[in-house]
Amino acid sequence: MFPRIATKRITILLPLRCLVLLAALLLLSSCAGQVAQLVYTNGAVVETLSAAVSLSFSSGEKGMGGSGYLVYRRPDQMRLIVLSPFGTTLMEVYVNNERVTIVYPGKGAAFAGRLADLPQRGESAGWRQVRWVMDVDPPGSTMQDGTLERMNSLGMKERVTFENGLVTAKALPNGDGARYGDFAVINGVPLATEIIMENAAGDRFRLKLNEPEVNTPFEADVFTPRLDGLTVYPLAALQGS
């Protein structure tokens, strides 16, 4: 039997969805609002990123929020620290390529495995949306301004809106959608610092990057989970908690 790490499913799903959105923020050079006035260096990409993050999730009359810190290194390393209101660490999420490790230091437990090991039923099926959110056009490669409908590289029909050569919104026929906003240009690199994901059921997730630092070096071991003294369970056990 696995320990009961979270009393609410949303407690687990919040950081997982956060990773979805962070991936989109890091792989997209997209933004909204005054995107037409955005001036950036062609070909400039995020190699490393560190930032404070705030996030919120609402579903019907229920909602919750959180804060923490993020570090990222292109192309596939990420660490998210979720803090309590008192500043203690509630959870750490590590992503290294296809490997995911979720650590609950206060519970003395961790869950580790591959992205594919995450449960495919219920709300965890939202991981199917990860690839869709990440599947975007390089800046200026498709359309300068306008909206098009197409079959994307994942074989899904989608509607995509471009402004100033950048993706500003995406939508699927089932009502799922993503919007990107509050842009910043840091060292010539365009970075969306806000992303909002919504679905037909009315669920809404918002993530905001605060005081981001782009393309500055940091230690390699920042992406190595510290598991000494912890009991490690399969990642697929999360929904069984």
Domain assignment of residue 1, yes or no: no
Domain assignment of residue 221, yes or no: yes
| Residue scoring higher pLDDT (38 or 5) | 38
pLDDT in tens, 154-207: 788 999 998 887 778 899 998 988 887 887 888 888 787 888 888 888 888 888
- Identify which of 47, 92, 100, 40 has the alpha carbon closest to the alpha carbon of residue 70: 92
- Identify which of 153, 201, 155, 143 has the alpha carbon closest to the alpha carbon of residue 177: 201
Cα 84 to Cα 65, 89, 103, 111, distances in angstroms: 10, 6, 14, 20
Domain residue limits at 208:
48-140+194-237
Find where tokens 């990773």 sit: 19
Identify the pLDDT of residue 136. 65
pLDDT in tens, 59-95: 888 887 889 998 988 777 889 898 988 889 998 989 8
Domain assignment of residue 92, yes or no: yes
Domain assignment of residue 79, yes or no: yes
In the chain the first and final C-alpha atoms are separated, in Å, by 8
Does 50 score more than 90 pLDDT? yes
- Identify which of 192, 152, 194 has the alpha carbon closest to the alpha carbon of residue 173: 152
Domain assignment of residue 218, yes or no: yes
Domain assignment of residue 19, yes or no: no
Q: Which residues contact 82 (CB under 8 A, 6 or more apart)?
A: 14, 15, 66, 67, 68, 89, 90, 91, 92, 93
Does 121 score more than 80 pLDDT? no
Residue 206's domain is classified under what CATH number? 2.50.20.10
42: its two tokens:
């062609």
H helices then E strands: how many in the chain? 2, 13
Identify the pLDDT of residue 24. 61
